[in-house]
Amino acid sequence: MSEGGWTAIILAGQRPGPDALATHFGEEYKALVTVGGEAMVTKVVRALHQTPEIARIVILSQAPEKLIQAVEAGGGALFHASGAGISSSIKAIAGSDAAPWPVLVTTADHPLLEPSMISAFLKDSASSDLSVAMVEKAAMLLVFPDAVRTWLKFSDGHWSGANLFALRTDRVIAALDLWSAAEQDRKTAWKLFLHFGPWLAIRAITRTIGLREALAQVGRKFGLSIKLVAMADPIACIDVDKVGDHALAEEILAKRGKA
């Protein structure tokens, strides 16, 4: 890892109650489910260590003692307790001495991440306070025609999140506050944008606005710039939430020769 540079925050918390994927594979925590012979969080930590722009890595988890061994296998990281929500947990540490700006946020269930993906995203995020990585449906289906994802449908395409967020300055704090309110609606376009005003929600419902412009409008409303970064590699949006995702990830890793 480089001196200075980015802080990477890995979200490795878990909602209350058993996680269906973890239970299926006989684990208590989803981050410890193995893909390609290693815990998912191990692969994410290693990819970040191998990314030149990343200077430090912080794991947010309710049970760090359960993850220490897997995190050390990927190269190690600092741990910080996560709170009740994703955005509030990020807000509690982003910009602190433990996690100085700029901050990259990703998730522990993203075992297909590669340093090249991360570097490309950070490069493309350079002009904005907050950048969100997405994959467009046409790009995904070109490579994975049978892929099943949750798509946000807008006039500029159908988009699926890639679990990569670039937070460059403390101006993003206002967006984190809104994220806290909107977390539960993040997979339904009109419900998500209803948090930012009824007119934007209506335009999302009628698909008379593109996601790029919708995000830019949200940013202007709160005094910051928000950018959609369209990822060239559709693998960037394949996280492992379900058994079907796990099978696809195993197949991809096998083809990479890394399983």
Tokens standing for 246? 């796990």
pLDDT at residue 149, rounded to an integer = 87
User: Tens digits of per-residue pLDDT, 209-252?
Assistant: 898 998 898 888 889 999 999 999 999 999 999 999 999 999 99
pLDDT greater at residue 242 or residue 83: 242
Q: 1-112: what fold?
A: Spore Coat Polysaccharide Biosynthesis Protein SpsA; Chain A (3.90.550)
CB-CB neighbours of 75 under 10 Å = 15
CA distances for 123 relative to 87, 88, 92, 119, angstroms: 24, 26, 26, 6
Determine the average pLDDT of the residues in 75-89: 89
Q: What is the mean pLDDT of residues 118-139?
A: 96
Q: What H or E segment, with its residue span, contains residue 164?
A: strand 157-167
Higher confidence at residue 140 or residue 88?
Answer: 140
Q: Give the separation between CA 238 and CA 141, rounded to whole angstroms.
A: 12
pLDDT at 185 over 70: no
Inform me whether the pLDDT recorded for 88 exceeds 60: yes
The CATH classification of domain 124-160+168-237, taken from the options 1.10.260.40, 3.40.190.10, 3.90.550.10, 3.20.20.100: 3.90.550.10
Q: What is the mean pLDDT of residues 128-132?
A: 95
Mean pLDDT of 31-48: 98
Domain layout of the chain by residue ranges: 1-112, 124-160+168-237
The pLDDT tens digits of the residues spanning 40-72 come to 999 999 999 999 999 999 999 999 999 999 999
Question: Does 124-160+168-237 match 1-112 at the fold level?
Answer: yes
DSSP, collapsed to helix, strand or coil, labels residue 18 as coil
- Measuring CA to CA, how many Å separate 230 from each of 59, 87, 157, 201, 225? 26, 22, 11, 22, 16
What pTM was estimated for this model as a whole? 0.91
Q: With 80 as the cut, is the pLDDT of residue 3 above it?
A: no
- Distance of alpha carbon 89 from alpha carbon 130, whole angstroms: 17
Q: How far apart are CA 182 and CA 197, in angstroms?
A: 12
For residue 60, give every residue at least 6 positions away whose Cβ sits within 8 Å of its Cβ, in sequence order, or none.
9, 10, 11, 12, 13, 80, 81, 82, 89, 90, 93
